[in-house]
Structure 1
Amino acid sequence: MIGLVRLLGLLPLGLTQRIGRGLGWLLWLRRTRSREVARVNLALTAPDMDTAERDQLLKKTLLHNGMTGAEMGVFWGKNTIDVLSLIRRVHNAKLLDDALADSQGVLILAPHIGNWEQLNTYLSNRCQITIMFKPAKNPLFDSWMRQRRQNTGATLVPTTAGGVRALFKTLQQGSVAGFLPDQEPERRSGVIVPFMGVPTLTPRMPHELLQRTGARALMAFALRRPDAEGFDVHFLEPDADIYSKDADVACTALNRSVEQVVAMAPEQYQWTYKRFKRQPDGTPSPYKAAGVP
């Protein structure tokens, strides 16, 4: 896997994305886990969408999913200057500038859309950032992946108690922390609130980080431009209720903020992730019900 990523890193972005689109076509043509998970997710979140339109979105999703995988070589195999040169425009950069100029901490909330590795490189070039990540199952690949990501200047902490303490400390010191707000937590670490009209186990950690540190939150993401033109980085203010003292209200606002991001490029969102696996008590997993492989 490491050798393949390195090989892809030798190729120009256009060729890498064409390879990724080919991988996406394979995911679309066969009854793969990725295709069926995305099919279930889109049926749940867009029940009123015409079936043909939904299938078209599903196909585009898998093509972008393939490109995201193939682009790993670009972001982990090239130097920082080359990666930054792929950014064509930064939207609402003043939001980040103002947040960094303030003495309070900044919590960057980065949904799984476009290519978050491009976003990581941009942010690491702008500021010292501590990012929570889920370690890979293979220790060798995990070590290599962590090294490549930290080469950009980011500090990575795992999804453990120690990692959580590191995020709190970072924000309390007035620095920048990054968190992926659309990953499903353990039941004890989340609340079930709506996401795109579906009851969804949502991480409570952003709420706790903001309440206990007084940090400011920003939504951030990097979207893929057409025809291998590169990427645009975006910053958005989250829903104001994200600062509510009530965890349910704050987590609902977090999900509304992610919805706003997804609406900008739904085909680039990671619909292939089992976001709705843990439903309220007594409700079966929609993936099991659909016989997802």
Structure 2
Amino acid sequence: MKTTTRVARVLTAAAAAVLLAAPAHADPRVGGDIGVHYDALGGAGSALGQPVGGEVRTPNARGAYVEFERGGIWWSPATGAREVHGEILSAWGRTGWEAGPLGFPTTDETRTPDGRGAYNVFEGGSIYWSPPTAAHGVRGMIRDAYAWAGYEGGVLGFPVTDEVRTPNGRGAYGIFQGGSIYWSPATGAHVLIGAIREAWAARGHENGPLGFPTSSEFDVPGGKRVNFQGGYVEWSAATGARVNAPVSAPAPWLPPGAPAPSVPAYYANCAEARAAGAAPLYYGQPGYRPALDGDGDGVACE
């Protein structure tokens, strides 16, 4: 009889401990780590609202999730329980949820330091949102370059596209409020902004003679420069952007009546320049390249 009473007391104490440890706003449909995190966020009073179902195993069997009125909480052993909601949730869904390249979330939605937007970090990248740009993913080496440039607080601002494959299939890019990041396996990921980016775009982007960037913008005497597979572009306030011509050189002298080259202003050889009616090509004139100027006198294909 005494043993039975002692066991009953132990069971009663254990039950009380469980009740005391249970989340104050616990919902019977939400348990485990997901339930604990839901309660920590504020339960039904949080941005997620009420649960609309119970815990579900993810199709890849790597974790579980619970859907709520305005979002969800995803859990995996490696990432713990994290919430995703709103436009970031929709953007993540476009990539294939946890089975896509981003994987499981590793943070809850977080306000950006400048207060202009929000983001979630995932196993394979991040999704950034702001009112004017909506939500877009950044991942891989493009994300690394974005971090190098200062994330949304840097010159690039927020992303305005997801990662996009280049038309030639040789790389990818992301467009941001203040510029672009281009990547290829051969060149890595590099930041393009301002007049240098515009000069490169005017010559066909990565499909033009310059190809992909091999550096981000860096300082040179008197201005800025970006290197490309097929040359370089330099810029200064005095000269603007120059393709394959240094800004430290004097302005080109063009004799009266010098012919304007046809578009595109790139010639593989002098025969091609002459056939287009563009020869001779003077230093600083579109189409001039040192490789065509055999004697280095500033006049090519004379």
Q: TM-score, normalising length from structure 1?
A: 0.23
Please identify the structure whose Cα radius of gyration is greater. 2
Give the strand-richer structure, 1 or 2.
Answer: 2
Q: TM-score, normalising length from structure 2?
A: 0.23
